[in-house]
Amino acid sequence: MARKRSPNSTSDRQRIQFAYNADRDTRIGEVFKYLLKSDKVPSRKGKHKGLDAIAAFWQAFAYKEKEGVSEEEKMAIAQESIESLSQQIDLIRETFGIEPPVTVTTDPAQLKQEMRLVATQVFQEFASSGAIYALAIENVNTQPTNAVSATTKPDPHNDEGVDFDEEALLGGLFDSSDVAA
Amino acid sequence: MTLKPKQPSNESGKAARQQYLDLAKHVTGEANLDYVTLYQRFAENDWAAVKLDDAVASLSLRFGNSPKQTVGILHQSPYLQHQVHHCNVPLAPMSQYVRSTVLKTVQRQKQAQSQQRSSLQSSDLEKS
């Protein structure tokens, strides 16, 4: 019996080519040499690495408007790209000893929560140093007093890990009250 | 209703606001920016406003302002001004936020300088 031809058989496949001739002495030329002409990376593997890189960068956008692909599939593709790119970032950091940036809270709700925590800590510090009364007066009169900053010297235990005198560097907590008014 | 920033009530506030605006112009690359526009754009967008304060603090220190001066300048940030004068957040926690922003920036810049020094030293060693 004659075998039914698969819709994906070689002769039916529609193909698209991506080719680029790079000058060897350009940066992209160096990348091509690393991927295709290196002793460390077989050229077949090198081509796949190049294709993986292109796909990780652009496949989510390529599928974004494509019809016949469900939203779940599109999200999975985007997620897959993020994972690939994150892994590559980790690899570059590890290879070159680059520390990740200081984590910044990006969620406004989380940020507000953190600010509440800071505010609570500040007020607890005032309460324990007896300066809360002076702060209340300052809030009513919006009159900064040097006496307040003198009584709110930070607890030295809270400065652990900071290798300089915060107050000498930044001034007292209420030194800029005038500026903010 | 359009958001309007409170006018500074003294000369030091006015000077700090102008300095903040000048630095923000550098950060955003918009030379014609005015404070009202900056305020309306950032005051209610917490995340962006905090990022703007980070960038302004960093630039202020790089332009040679002391950490203490930078703390003063950041007291005119749209974020602090909005929180204090519009949302009635007490000044103390907001001042603490500004101080911690400047402190982190100082530490980051010190760290970057020491890394740069050590990499320069090691490249000198390699040459010799």
Distance CA A169, CA A83 (A): 42
Residue B126: band (very low, low, confident or very high) from pLDDT cuts 50, 70, 90: low
Of A104, A108, A179, the CB nearest to B16: A179
Of B46, B75, B103, the CB nearest to A179: B75
Residue-wise pLDDT tens digits, B30-69: 999 999 999 999 988 888 999 999 999 999 999 999 999 9
The predicted model gives B120-124 an average pLDDT of 63
**Minimal CA–CA distance to B74: which of A117, A54, A12, A171?**
A171
Q: Residues A139-158, buried b or exposed e (16+ Cβ, 10 A)?
A: eeeeebeeebbeebebeeee
More confident residue, A170 or B75: B75
For position A133, what pLDDT does the model report? 46
For position A129, what pLDDT does the model report? 58
For position A111, what pLDDT does the model report? 67
Distance CA B60, CA B69 (A): 9
Minimal C-alpha gap between A72 and chain B (Å)? 29
For position A152, what pLDDT does the model report? 40
Is residue A99 classed exposed, middle or buried when 0-12, 13-18 and 19+ CB atoms within 10 A define those classes? exposed
Minimal C-alpha gap between A170 and chain B (Å)? 4
Residue-wise pLDDT tens digits, B20-29: 999 999 999 9
Disruptive mutation site among B18, B58, B88, B95 for chain A (greatest number of A CBs within 10 Å): B95
Tokens of A162: 């900071």
For position A180, what pLDDT does the model report? 87
Give yes or no for A104 touching B (CB within 8 A).
yes
For position A174, what pLDDT does the model report? 74
Positions in chain A whose pLDDT score sits under 70 = 1-11, 102-164
Contacts 24+ apart (CB under 8 A), A128-131: A128/A155, A129/A153
For position A44, what pLDDT does the model report? 84
List Cβ neighbours of B97 (8 Å cut-off, separation of 6 or more). Answer: A115, A118, B80
Residue B114: band (very low, low, confident or very high) from pLDDT cuts 50, 70, 90: confident
Cβ contact, residue pair A171, B68, below 8 Å: yes
Distance CA A57, CA A54 (A): 5
For position A106, what pLDDT does the model report? 56
For position A120, what pLDDT does the model report? 65
Of A102, A126, A176, the CB nearest to B95: A176
pTM for this model (two decimals): 0.47
Q: A122, A142 in Cβ contact below 8 A?
A: no
Disruptive mutation site among A98, A158, A165, A179 for chain B (greatest number of B CBs within 10 Å): A179
The residue type of A127 is: A
For position A102, what pLDDT does the model report? 62
Cβ contact, residue pair B50, A111, below 8 Å: yes
Which residues of chain B have a CB within 8 Å of the CB of A123?
Answer: 92-93
Does the interface ipTM go beyond 0.85? no
Helices B67-74 and B46-62: crossing angle, nearest 10°? 150
Of A107, A122, A135, the CB nearest to B96: A122
Cβ contact, residue pair A118, B100, below 8 Å: yes
User: What chain A residue is nearest to B44 in terms of C-alpha separation?
Assistant: A108
Residue-wise pLDDT tens digits, A101-146: 765 555 666 666 666 666 666 666 655 555 544 444 444 444 443 4
Distance CA B58, CA B67 (A): 10
Across chain B, what does the average pLDDT equal? 89
